A and B are shown apart, each in its own frame.
Chain A
């Protein structure tokens, strides 16, 4: 018995001519936050909908908690929570009623439900708005309600489909912290986004998707290690001599070194110690360092290298 919470094998989903998922496979381990990163239309939501058996797919195999998932897998569904991409709440119910209703689909006991609903409200910080109808909530608050509705019943597996779209940075951070807390509480999480920063911030593993395919997967560092594009280091340091330059060049993980107008430019492979290694050499020689810049490669660079295009052409 493996600890795989989700295993998707060779999933194919077609919309008429369009192939939304093209032999897509993925695994999620227990307690993990898996990020699905991909541009609009890459198939993130489609993947989730197939896993949840809301959407019929053409071929492939989906197991959740080791069991085959079907529309009638009520025992599995009981363990799952979902925060859909589009806010899905009843306009005619208040914040409290919405959470209570959706939690009630899972939890029959009134007392227990009351406790869970209040916990969820506190979790997303909507205490001051329990009597509000969704129409009166701001975009960010609405997103929080959307989250509360999905997690109140304390699911073991939670899907977040772009929960931070159109949310200000502060609320966004709250949401991300919340997700980390849920993981601490033992939940396994699938998180989709086209914001690479978010994915880098919270995900243990990332699958980069494009056109319905998984083009790369691994931890953030592993992914960055897969590409040639290196860390770019610039240090303003007057009076550098040839000897020092070649010394730097000899460091492992270093590709190119140049020095011009008092600025040392180094391209290094990905790694965490590059800057420190260089600074050590310079300081050994008693040189005065003025400014230091280091540009780390991003998941965007990873995406660029694998697909030849930017992850996001807007923004």
Chain B
């Protein structure tokens, strides 16, 4: 108990560790949020487009058009006469004009229209034309449900349109991906605690001369390792849970509603990082900080390849060299988290978790074997 308490204290007062696994990722997310969240919101929530409507005929087809468009979230109908509307259009004050004829709707776009503008505005017109038969039936039979569901459908369709026409083209949403990658980076840096853990058992590893004291003490290595492991695991679980909380709460990036799976993810990923750190500590040469630095370099590479800086990188690998994504731990963790949050079907999430768990088991076995063989504290 005494050892556990001090081990916690040790881990918490390791500034480098806290920096890399917590302060750094959260700060990155914060700045990313400041810089990009508004731009992103632009791309993804649809600001209503200002449009005018000009009626060139007067029949049910034309008259009902007004009712429908008036109820679509993404359109803001500007009520002016024909001349004013064309003026506004010419000055880019409104994005488009619907010219409703006998049985067709034409669309005029402003000179500086964007792809998204035209997509949204045209989709509404197309859909209206296509579905007008239904509307007509509904109108004659007085079945307003059909009309309402049609309008709902149109609303959700335009949503879909906007997703597809954003700047991001990959399967994943790169804005969110960035946050998940940053969270994963923090978790990967929990490995630093693993490096320190094994250093504590090796009297010859540079700065940590204290290993000498622990190894001459009557406390067995197993106890030291287990205490060190679980105290660090506890700290890293708290840290990554808190980072996820910050992400969800302050940066509006969802962690999803699947708590048991999220806990599974946090547990598996942190155990993985710790055991990976043990590998670094056991197999790299030199004093502790050198081993740590080599580990940091590896982690950064892995994190980079997972798209922490270039969010489309994993997408590229997916297309040209999928093996990289399959074996890069940071990408595997990212996929796991992303799929956990967004995918209906959790199979692919579980596959990633199984990969992580297998790797962790492998690392822990190797570490245990190696530590067992080092009967003597210094080599």
Contacts and interface: CB of A to CB of B under 8 A. Distances in A.
Q: Verify that A and B bind, or say they do not.
A: yes
Interface of A: 49, 52-56, 71-72, 74-75, 77-78, 80, 82, 84, 86-90, 92-93, 97, 100-102, 104-106, 108, 110, 113, 149-150
Identify which of A54, A77, A100, A106 gathers the most chain B CB atoms within 10 Å of its CB: A54
B2 A101 contact: yes
B376 A106 contact: no
B376 A54 contact: yes
Given A54-B377, A84-B212, 19 more contacts: A53-B216, A54-B203, A56-B379, A71-B377, A72-B220, A77-B218, A78-B218, A82-B212, A82-B216, A84-B209, A84-B213, A86-B209, A90-B10, A92-B13, A93-B9, A104-B2, A104-B3, A105-B3, A150-B213
A195 to B, nearest CB: 22
A86 B219 CA distance: 22
Contact of B220 (A74, A84, A93, A149): A74
A42 B219 CA distance: 31
A149 B214 CA distance: 11
Nearest to A57: B376
A27 B377 CA distance: 24
A104 B224 CA distance: 13
A88 B213 contact: yes
B217 interface: yes
B213 A56 contact: no
Given A55-B376, A56-B376, A92-B13, A105 B212 contact: no
Contacts, number: 77
Contacts of A56: 375-376, 379
B354 interface: no
A101 B212 contact: no
Contacts of A74: 218-220
Contacts of B10: 90, 92-93
29 contacts: A53-B376, A54-B212, A54-B215, A55-B376, A56-B375, A56-B376, A56-B379, A71-B215, A71-B376, A74-B218, A74-B219, A75-B218, A77-B216, A80-B216, A82-B212, A84-B209, A84-B212, A88-B209, A88-B210, A88-B213, A92-B10, A92-B13, A93-B6, A93-B10, A97-B6, A97-B9, A100-B2, A105-B217, A105-B218
Contacts of B217: 77, 102, 105-106
B213 A105 contact: yes
Interface string B214-235: 1111111000000000000000
